[in-house]
Structure 1
Amino acid sequence: MASIISISGPIVNVGLEGETVRIQDVVYVGDAGLTGEVIQRDRQSALVQVYEETEGLKIGEKVRFTGEMLSALLGPGLLGSIYDGIQRPLKLVGTQMQKGLKLDPLDREEAWDFIPSVEVGQKLQAGEQIGVVSGADRFEYRILVPPGKNGTVRSVVKKGEYRLDDTLVELENGEKISMLQRWPVRMARPFKERVSSGKPMITGQRIIDFLFPISEGGSASIPGGFGTGKTILQQTLAKWSDADIIVYIGCGERGNEMTEVLQEFPQLEDPKTGKRLIERTVLIANTSDMPVSAREASIYMGLTIAEYFRDMGYTVALMADSTSRWAEAMRELSGRMNELPAEEGFPSYLASRIASVYERAGAVKTLGGGVGALTMIGAVSPPGGDFSEPVTRYTQRFTSVFWALDKELANARFYPSINHLQSHSAYARSVKPWWETISPHWETLRIWLIELLQKDEKLQRIVKLLGTEALPEDQKLTLFMADLIKEFFLQQNAFDAIDMYASPQKQVAMVEALNALYRQWEHCYEAKGIPVTLLKEQGTVQELLLARQGVRNEELEWFDSWNERMEAEYETLLLEFGEVS
């Protein structure tokens, strides 16, 4: 039997002694049976990364090879669960597990109501639905033919309660289908083809939805230094995004941050259903004090679970916080394997690994013929907020949306602290038709906002040198309107009952109000030369600022009445200014 030759932290060198071993096979290491995975091998030995703490392991202890790849167990019961990086349920034992403990990710004894949708003699292909598992207070799981299986139905059970392992459908070729599937986490689940969604994933965050949108099935990165609000932003997106399923991965973050997530998520009310948010969420927690190799596996575990729900035809949002810790885990493992380091000590395959992870996001036509989408949003924690470091740079290359968090904005308590000059989105064109169903002027308004904010940035350089008074009145107008846009539209309070979520309709109404006000300012200045300081002091301007936290999403008629008052007020100002002059 194979035995341990040497130990270097989580990397164990195993003498094979004639064993047949494949790369990515799961092994049980030592007397305690620690779970590990083969990552390298030659004729006489294999390197194993162990997913548990290796303190106490001794050279010569036996190693057992399973012949199976590290896989996720997929089936009803996933939602509402909290797992570690290799899918051990943390609800049962907490974060400090006994070494070598083997736990089933799902409760195989629980009975589920199954409603079949196939009949004897029907031909089935991989990915087709054989029935649903649901209940009065349960999410509807669509039970599918696993990839690689197909045939004609020989028998099917009647509607009733069944356990996860029970055979539901038997095919004439002898294949049996239950509620459970197993899938290797490092292999992407198959689909027919990629499709263009054309629909944005609405988050309720104005700067994201309106200026830098992400489409369903898109990929985005949130880079930001310490204290810029990455975790809060991801939790906000998890709560308010219109995805059907949320998969939240805490990868290498501090224990106190994950504790907040684990305590708050089960208590949060789901704005979509009115139930608890955890009921449509899967949490994967791998804190910084847990084994580094399991941290590296946690991203793949989360992706596989997300793909499982995508294949059912659902839209899934995957939040990874943070991919920098995942990359650091790769760097540590690579160093212990004596691989030649590349930039900043990261392995030379860092870029390809990052690309392969984000490649698994997308909107697809499933094997069963439906359409599902997996949207991936990864937080990046560049040391010192340096966006030129390798993980941030490669992530920016392989994601289509870049929400750059700014330390100065965060210090000024401006949230979300997304820098509108450094951020970008490649999905604006693809989601344009959807937004134009809300407002045919969406693209015009979006371009107006971006261009005005860019002009403001150039003017700010002059202001820092010479002061505001050195500017001509038309440039002051731009400067004051940009300030109004930032305060009224870009800034958003995640803890205010009204401001925490803005519907697409409210977002359009807010920008239309700003644009109308700006045109009114231009008219007053051009017609009568009214100073901008006087224009911005009118009462309707203060009314508009208060509307951010005072007007609900269903009260949009307020903006129509405000517009009438605003036009009347400036018309009066024009008349009065004419008399004075």
Structure 2
Amino acid sequence: MPIIGVVSRVSGPVVVAKDVLGAKMYELVRVGEEKLIGEIIRVEGDRAVIQVYEETAGLKPGEPVLCTGEPLSVELGPGLIGQIYDGIQRPLPDVEALIGPFLKRGYAIPALDRRKKWCFKPTVKSGIRVSENDVIGIVSETSMVDHRVMVPPGVRGELTYIAAEGDYTVEDTIAVVEREGEKYEVKLMHRWPVRRARPYVRKLPPETPLITGQRVIDVFFPMAKGGAAAIPGGFGTGKTIMQHQLAQWADADIVIYVGCGERGNEMAEVLERFPKLKDPRTGKPLMDRTILVANVSNMPIAAREASVYTGMTMAEYFRDMGYDVALMADSTSRWAEALREISGRLGEMPGEEGYPAYLASRLAEFYERAGRVECLGSPHRIGSISVVGAVSPPGGDFSEPVTVNTLRIVKVFWALDSDLAQRRHFPAINWLRSYSLYLDDLSSWFRKRVDPEWDELRAEAMYILQREEELREIVQLVGPDALSDAQRVYLEIARMIREDFLMQHAYHPVDTYCP
């Protein structure tokens, strides 16, 4: 029987409910007469503190609170690719078609279309034993993605029924697994809690670079498939454009772009540009391998946390199919700001600059779900999730808590420089402050696939750029006449590297992507 309590206090997105004895941590609840979506984040006896993912204006004490008994979950199945969701996985194009461009509070709509039929092709026969994440069939979701239908995690036994090839909705039963007299119906879709990482066999070491088509990244600061990178930078340094470029051209099978607290005009640019773009490898529409999660800055602040977990859970689902997934989170600083606001309303002891004491653990919990893994189930598959998180330090101060705690976790640091941005040098990645800890792991790949002398050439180019910085200091002190001819040659070569190689035009039809 569902637990029904009442609202006793409202403070912005934080609501206190009473008479909810038996409610569980991180349980999904519906708050008020409008059934606003929320999640329990603290339990004290028969009282619970709820963070509401929708606007709470007009909510008053005495209104009902319904505990659903389930955690906040997402729907996983055919229909995810090419879709645009909000932070709690409501499909925004479908919402607009049904109720118009403005999202009503408490409005619930399935994330996956219940009426659309998908052509299911079984790859196994009944009578065999199956276990979690075994692939039992394929659905051609788009021209670029074959959706591998898997046995949900936690289900194993004898496959007593498998549907014949044909068209099915996501709610139709396509297989039955029986174990010890109990039957489990497998459908094309299932649900998974966003805060729980999906299981895998083991993590694997990084071996292959994530080719981005951006010269400064691929040559000097490469990222491995399954790695984690941060792009910190002040206002106007090009963080969002960098994320757009990586989402468009990264060497990944699936791209998930999470706009977490983004400005509406920047998210609108993504929504306008991506459907028109072509994939550089296949020439097919880029949206045929892309999922967008749009949580703009004027949406309720608590939904920022839900958006990053929603994106990560969908990424893990495609990773389990054996795909290489690239997840772009823009920006984790705005998620941290949401944590700070909610922590303040809860009356928790603030940490540095008012952020909660658990900021570092929350960031680590998110980034550690990235990685290259051996997937559960058969046939044998290896998948990866590569995470690139933008960080927006106030005033470009890299010593602020979000940037510092992020750099403790990630292994690639692309530092955006406001001076370079002001000189119109884009990407504005400062080659003297940035680093990649994957260089040694990826060295053999570059030597084998690109050039046997890759390490030496890269080191020589970096030395020239570092030497240029030293010589520029001399020029500023005593003038250019103090330089020898050899030193002038260094400056000229460095200028050619900077202007002819490292600079790249994001909107140029040719220069935007360098294979």
TM-score in terms of structure 1 length: 0.85
| Cα root mean square deviation, aligned | 1.1
Q: Deviations over 1:466-516 (max 9, x none)?
A: 12221122222212111111011111112222221112xxxxxxxxxxxxx
Q: How does 1:309-348 map to 2 (within 5 A)?
A: 309-348=318-357
**How big is the shift at 1:180?**
0.6
1:219 maps onto 2:228 in alignment: yes
Change (3 A) 1:457 1:53: same
Counterpart of 1:34 in structure 2 is 36
Q: How does 1:73-84 map to 2 (within 5 A)?
A: 73-84=75-86
Look up the equivalent residue of 2:236 and give its one-letter code. G
Q: How does 1:443-522 map to 2 (within 5 A)?
A: 443-503=455-515
**In structure 2, distance between residues paired with 1:494 and 1:467:** 35
Secondary structure at the counterpart of residue 278 of structure 1: helix
Q: 6, 31, 41: which one pairs with 2:9?
A: 6
Question: Residue 237 of structure 1 aligns with which residue?
Answer: 246
Residues 54 and 300 of structure 2 are in contact (CA less than 8 Å); yes or no, is this contact kept in structure 1? yes
1:439 aligns with 2:451: yes
What CA distance in whole angstroms lies between the structure 2 residues aligned with 1:168 and 1:197? 36
Summarize deviations over 1:209-266 as a string: whole Å, max 9, x none.
0100000000000001110011111101111111000000000011111111112111
- Return the alpha-carbon distance in structure 2 between the equivalents of residues 274 and 252 of structure 1: 31
Q: Is the counterpart of residue 49 in structure 1 residue 51 in structure 2?
A: yes
Q: Distance in 1 between matches of 2:398 and 2:211?
A: 27
| The structure with more helix, counted as a fraction of residues | 1
| Poorly superposed stretches of 4+, deviation over 6 Å | none
How far did 1:136 drift? 7.6
From 255, 259, 274, give the equivalent of 1:265: 274
Structure 2 Cα separation of the partners of residues 435 and 381 of structure 1: 32
- Which residue matches 2:305? 296
Question: Given residue 44 of structure 1, which amino acid in structure 2 is its aligned partner?
Answer: D
- How is 1:523-534 mapped onto 2 (pairs within 5 angstroms)? none
Structure 1 position 180 matched with structure 2 position 182: no
User: What is the identity, as a one-letter code, of the residue corresponding to 2:288?
Assistant: E
The whole-number CA distance in structure 2 between the counterparts of 1:47 and 1:360 is 27
Whether the aligned pair in 1 keeps the contact of 2:137 and 2:150 (CA below 8 Å) is yes
Task: Show the counterpart of 1:399.
Answer: 410
1:116 is the counterpart of 2:122? yes
1:163-174 counterparts in 2 under 5 A? 163-173=169-179, 174=183
- Once the two structures are TM-superposed, the CA of residue 197 in structure 1 deviates from its matched residue by 3.3
CA contact (8 A) 2:330 2:390 kept: yes
Q: Is 1:161 aligned with 2:167?
A: yes
Counterpart residue number, 2:395: 384
Correspondence 1:130 to 2:133? no
Residue deviations 1:272-329 (CA, integer Å, cap 9, x gap): 2222211111100001100001112110000000010000000000000000000000
- What amino acid is the match of 1:373? S
CA distance in 1, matches of 2:421, 2:211: 23
Q: Which residue of 2 aligns with 1:64?
A: 66
d(CA) in 2 for partners of 1:449 and 1:301? 41
Following TM superposition, by how much is the alpha carbon of 1:453 offset from its aligned partner in structure 2, in angstroms? 1.2
1:135/1:187 CA distance change after superposition, 3 Å:
closer
Partner of 2:102: 96
CA shift at 1:455, angstroms? 1.4
SS of aligned partner of 2:335: helix
d(CA) in 2 for partners of 1:137 and 1:281? 12
Q: Deviations over 1:5-31 (max 9, x none)?
A: 1000000000025x3110000000001
Task: Give matches, 1:402-441, under 5 Å.
Answer: 402-437=413-448, 438-441=450-453
Greater alpha carbon shift after TM alignment, 68-77 vs 253-262: 253-262
Q: Give the drift of 1:332.
A: 0.5
Residue 135 to residue 335, structure 1, CA distance change in 2 (3 Å): closer
Q: Could you report, residue by residue, the CA deviation over 1:64-93 in whole angstroms, capped at 9, with x for unpaired residues?
A: 000000001000000011011000111123
Q: What is the distance in 2 between the residues matched to 1:482 and 1:91?
A: 49
Gaps of 5+ in 2: none
Quote how far apart the aligned CAs of 1:436 are: 1.1
Which secondary structure does the structure 1 equivalent of 2:226 belong to? Answer: coil
Superimposed CA distance per residue, residues 15-70 of structure 1 (whole angstroms, 9 cap, x where no aligned partner):
025x3110000000001100000000111200000000000101000100000000
State the SS of the aligned residue for 2:24: coil
AA aligned to 2:131 is: Q
Q: 1:146 aligns with which of 134, 143, 152?
A: 152
SS of match in other structure, 1:363: strand
Report if the CA contact (8 A) 2:475-2:482 is conserved. Answer: yes
Identity over the aligned pairs, expressed in percent?
Answer: 51
Partners in 2 of 1:142 and 1:97 — Cα distance?
Answer: 32
What is the letter of the counterpart of residue 387 of structure 1? F
Q: State the shift of 1:138 in Å.
A: 6.2
Decide which structure has greater strand share: 2
Q: Give distance in 2, aligned partners of 1:40 and 1:417.
A: 42
Classify 1:128/1:187 alpha carbon distance in 2 versus 1 (closer, same or farther; 3 Å).
same
1:22 corresponds in structure 2 to 24
Q: CA deviation at 1:381?
A: 0.5
